[in-house]
Amino acid sequence: AQTVTQSQPEMSVQEAETVTLSCTYDTSESNYYLFWYKQPPSRQMILVIRQEAYKQQNATENRFSVNFQKAAKSFSLKISDSQLGDTAMYFCAFILLRETSGSRLTFGEGTQLTVNP
């Protein structure tokens, strides 16, 4: 079974600064995707960034980037130039790319990020 662990329940950062959220996962499979989702107070889950396991290059999306260390099974999210609107719960998630797995996400516990003005 796959597991995802986020060891930081809460984090805070000053506006315009950089923050890194940590995530580790465990799997014996080699073909999978990793995601960071953001859940603001409105409760809708929003995809922030995706990383395909077969890609060595780290994914980036504007101010968001990841540090994907496949051997270490680590997948951290860096948010640069933090904005007040980044305040949300962030979830790390994992999905296997296997016919029988379908679209089943395994989520971490979440990290509540607060951006202070």
In the complex, the residues that contact other proteins under the rule CB under 8 A are 33, 37, 42-47, 50, 52, 91, 95, 97, 100-110
Could you tell me the smallest distance in angstroms from the CB atom of residue 44 to other proteins? 5
Could you tell me the smallest distance in angstroms from the CB atom of residue 14 to other proteins? 28
Could you tell me the smallest distance in angstroms from the CB atom of residue 4 to other proteins? 10
**Cα pseudo-dihedral 41, 45, 50, 53, rounded to 10:** 120
Closest to other proteins by CB, 80 or 114:
114
Beta-ladder partners of 66:
77
Are the CB atoms for 103 and 1 separated by under 8 Å? no
- 111 to each of 4, 32, 40, 50, 87, how far by Cα in Å? 12, 22, 12, 17, 11
Could you tell me the smallest distance in angstroms from the CB atom of residue 17 to other proteins? 28
Closest to other proteins by CB, 28 or 42:
42
Distance CA 82, CA 66 (A): 15
Closest to other proteins by CB, 80 or 106:
106
